[in-house]
Amino acid sequence: MSKRANGEGSITRRKDGLYHGRVYVTTTAGVPKRLSVYGKTREEVHEKITALQAQDNQGIPTPDTNVRLSEYLTYWLATVVRVNRRPKTHQGYESVVRVHLIPGLGTKKIRTLRAADVRTWLARVAAACQCCKNGWDATRLHPRCCAVGECCETRLSRRMVQSIHAVLRNALESAVREELILRNVAKLVQVPTPDYSTGKGLSVPQARLLLKAASTDRLHALYVLALAMGLRRGELLGLHWSAIDLERGSLIVSSNLQRVDGALQLGPTKTLSSLRTLPLPPVVVTALQGHREAQAQERVAAGDRWKDTGLVFTSRVGTAIEPDNLRRSWYPLRDRLGLTLRFHDLRHTCVTLLLDLGVPPHIVRQIAGHSDIGVTMKVYAHASLDEQRKALGSLSDRLS
């Protein structure tokens, strides 16, 4: 038998019956290294060696890291997400990593993580009772489940499962760019698409009744902006007087108020498409003029306690309004009218009424600041029953 060439690789059989192959390749560190592969048969090991050599001949380095997924996720959150993404995004990613990914897949090495591992784990998470984590440790019941002697079967929503998958996919994609792994196995796994339900919108008479009922509320102008222009809650509470020109009738949406890591923060808009300049309709101009006068009176009444933040909608001493505290105004108003919708549904109402008036969807998208017109049409757009009846009646007349 002729002698093997240098770097050709070798295959030996171990005492436990497995075959052990060794071959020299260039690693992602840029240096040649002898790597080991294993298999149940000589042919299996030979195929692995051949694949590594073919990859090396194409100039593709071989990852040689043994870092675990938990270690990489911690590194990724600190050096990639925190630096390049918005604070609220980092907060959401960190929660998914801490609560789901590290407990479930953290011990796996990113180099050997397989699509089957991700697929099996996600299916188990989606089916598990989120109180006692049935499926991970069925012998330990949560107190809520102990009351009935079995799991209460509180499942994660499809949207949450999709978010967990998205965070893992983004993290592994970053590892691919850093040449720690060759492919993103999370991309090979499909998760169920969440069902986006259409928001509950108000009819025109209901919207008028709401504005009339809110006319005595100190945040009346906020409700007018929400209904007439479809601004998000964070955009409304982060709106500055410097962004409003009442004489020319224009408004710039450029900031967003959110609670992040236990503190109120003024940050950029949700997406680049959310950064927009909008004309002010007369009803909004009138409401803002009245609100500015009322705020001036509150400033005088507060005296030295007033904090000049420049915000349009503030507390009685000028400080920013906690987003969750908006319910103190909204819930009583909603209950007086016998409504059950959320505050965000006022934004749904604006978009829906604009579409019902025949406004082109691309114009509605610009007003609402949606990132894609598909969001406008899929999540919000629905014609009222009267509009459907009118459309089908017109078709019926043509066919008769």
| pTM for the predicted model, two decimal places | 0.66
- Return the closest-CA partner of residue 153 out of 180, 135, 118, 129: 129
Three-state DSSP state, 89: helix
Q: Beta strands 19-26 and 10-13: pairing type?
A: antiparallel
Maximum C-alpha span of the chain? 100
**Distance of alpha carbon 290 from alpha carbon 383, whole angstroms:** 34
pLDDT by residue for the chain (400 residues), tens digit each?
A: 455 555 556 888 888 889 998 988 887 667 788 888 888 999 999 998 898 888 788 887 777 677 899 999 998 999 899 888 888 888 899 999 999 999 999 999 998 899 999 999 999 888 877 666 655 554 566 666 665 556 666 778 888 999 999 999 999 999 998 888 888 999 999 988 766 555 567 888 889 999 999 999 999 999 999 999 989 999 999 999 999 999 999 999 888 888 877 778 777 777 777 788 899 999 999 999 999 999 999 999 999 999 999 999 999 999 999 888 888 899 999 999 888 888 988 988 888 888 878 888 888 888 888 877 766 666 554 545 566 677 778 877 888 6
